[in-house]
Structures are given as structure tokens and as C-alpha cells.
Amino acid sequence: MTDFVVYDVFTDTAFGGNQLAVIPDATKVPEGQLQKIAREFNFSETTFVYPPNDPAHTARVRIFTPTMEIPFAGHPTIGTAIALAASGAPKQMVLELGIGPIHCEAEGNQAQFQTTAPLTILAQPAVELVARCLGLPEDTIKTDVHLPTQASLGLPMVFVELKERENLRRIETATDAFREGMERHPGDLDFALFPYVRDKAVIHARMFAPLDNIPEDPATGSACATLNALLSQIAGTPLQLTIHQGEDMGRPSRILTEAIAGDPMPINVAGNAVQTMAGTLTL
């Protein structure tokens, strides 16, 4: 039997934020069951923790969505760091992820990590296609700062700025349009969209990846980090952002991001997490 814990991440209140299942010791879990376990939890991500390849590091972490393994994601990194700290790991830790070692700091219910991966711009999907995906008129999409942009710090998403907060509430996704987007612009996630509204340093956002069995994600740290990198690159200066996500699905989340001057520009991501469950896999 194998223990697990469940955290709500990017929130300080139980039943908010984004759910994460953590398997703190996955060494005895058969490889063929990893994806099945993630699908059984059916959270946006589940993490499996192993001894590090480098003994100077804290742990090796594998991240699974309900449909695939992915190299990097933000809320699993924050939640796993807090879970490891709760079980006795040092405050300063290095987690080995699919994109390489990530430096983390966790204490109590708070954690932060820094990614130094370079920003990659992959594509600029058509406004018309993105609007159909979101079920919105084309004129709700704001294009004066940037066109819809598929970008990545390790996990590609399409970033779409909308003109009004009400536009976020009105979104009704169209799966057929997402399939068309996936065919035109393939990636590790199948045409995941991150629409947002910006008011200076405050962002309100939603994230949709229906083709990956994630109809909507309450908090997406990797996307928030990438958005900060993208907007900082456009502005020509490092930005600090407070990103609110999950409000329109009843799981409010708060993600703090900070870009640091450099080339590539490091991005810090910070947030809270609250443990809500603990149990045993009876496999």
C-alpha cells in the first residue's frame, strides 16, 4: 500500500485553489499504474516523488495530468514542495523535474520556486480560431499589446488578452475548435488556452485544456510564469504580477509572479497550499 496526500494549491482556504494529489514515496508504484492513478484522482495534476538522481538534490518529481506525463507545471511544484517540507524536507530544496532542477523554498503553508527556462514563442494562432474556442466575438480579443501567442517556459499555452472582465465570465468553450487548434499548433498540451484581463499589475485569468480532460483549471502556475515572462519581454522591463484565477468556477486562486532581470529572465512563482486529505492507495 502507498500513502498519498491531497493539497489545495494557490489558496490559504480549503476547497479553493487547485487540487493536487501527491504520492510522497512512489518507489514501489509500478510504472504502468502511474497514469491510471492520475486518471483515478482526475485532478489537473498528480505528482509522484522519487529519490533524486543527484544526491545533492531533494527529490525527483514526475507530474501527470489525467491523460499524459508533462515536464513541468506550477501548482504541482508548489504543492509538492509544501508536502515535502511538512514531512521533514529542508526549507531550501531542489526538485528534479522534466525541465531540469528547480530551486524551491517552502515553509508552513507557503512556497515559492524559480524557473530560469528561456521563453519560447511557438506560434500566433488566428484571432478567429481563438475566438471560436472561447465562444466569444472576435472583437472581445485585445491585440494592441500582443496577438494570441502560444508560448512556453516548459509547457506551451496560448495567451489571449481580453478587453473586459465580463468577457472572461462569458466564455463557453467549443471542443471542435480546440481540436482544430491542436491540429494547427501541436504541443505538450493540446491547444491549452489562457485568456486573461489585465489592470496594471493585477491579472484575472482562466485556463482551458478540454482535450486533455481539463475542462477548466483553477490555478496554473506554469502559465502564470510564462505570461509574466511574455509581458516582461514586451515591456522591456521585469514585472511583478498578482494573478487571480479560478474565481469563475468557484475555486478562487491567487498566484504571485515576479520577473528578475537577466537573460533568460528568471521568474519567481509563489503561493500557499492547504492539505485537505490523506490516505492510502490499496493497490
- In a shared domain, residues 149 and 228: yes
- In a shared domain, residues 88 and 175: no
Ordered per-residue pLDDT tens for the chain, 283 residues? 899 999 999 999 999 999 999 999 999 999 999 999 999 999 999 999 999 999 999 999 999 999 999 999 999 999 999 999 999 999 999 999 999 999 999 999 999 999 999 999 999 999 999 999 999 999 999 999 999 999 999 889 999 999 999 999 999 999 999 999 999 998 778 899 999 999 999 999 999 999 998 999 999 999 999 999 999 999 999 999 999 999 999 999 999 999 999 999 999 999 999 999 999 999 7
Verify whether residue 45 is a known catalytic residue. yes
For residue 247, what is its C-alpha cell? 474565481
- In a shared domain, residues 107 and 128: no
- In a shared domain, residues 162 and 67: no
- In a shared domain, residues 235 and 140: yes
- In a shared domain, residues 107 and 56: yes
Q: Please give the pLDDT value at position 187.
A: 78
Q: What is the Cβ-side half-sphere exposure of residue 92, based on CA atoms within 13 angstroms? A: 1
- In a shared domain, residues 126 and 259: yes
- In a shared domain, residues 64 and 131: no
Q: How many residues belong to the chain?
A: 283
**HEC readout, the chain:** CEEEEEEEECCCCCCCCEEEEEECCCCCCCHHHHHHHHHHHCCCEEEEEECCCCCCCCEEEEEECCCCEECCCHHHHHHHHHHHHHCCCCCEEEEEECCEEEEEEEECCEEEEEECCCCEEEECCCHHHHHHHHCCCHHHECCCCCCCEEEECCCCEEEEEECCHHHHHCCCCCHHHHHHHHHHCCCCCCCCEEEEEEECCEEEECEEEHHHCEEEECCCHHHHHHHHHHHHHHHCCCCEEEEEECHHHCCCEEEEEEECCCCCCCEEEEEEEEEEEEEEECC
Q: Can you give the pTM of this predicted structure? A: 0.93
CATH number at residue 23: 3.10.310.10
- In a shared domain, residues 239 and 127: yes
Q: Please give the pLDDT value at position 210.
A: 95
Domain that holds residue 135: 120-265
- In a shared domain, residues 75 and 152: no
For residue 94, what is its C-alpha cell? 531542489
Q: Please give the pLDDT value at position 189.
A: 80
Choosing from 40, 45, 96, 172, which is the catalytic residue? Answer: 45
Q: Please give the pLDDT value at position 1.
A: 85
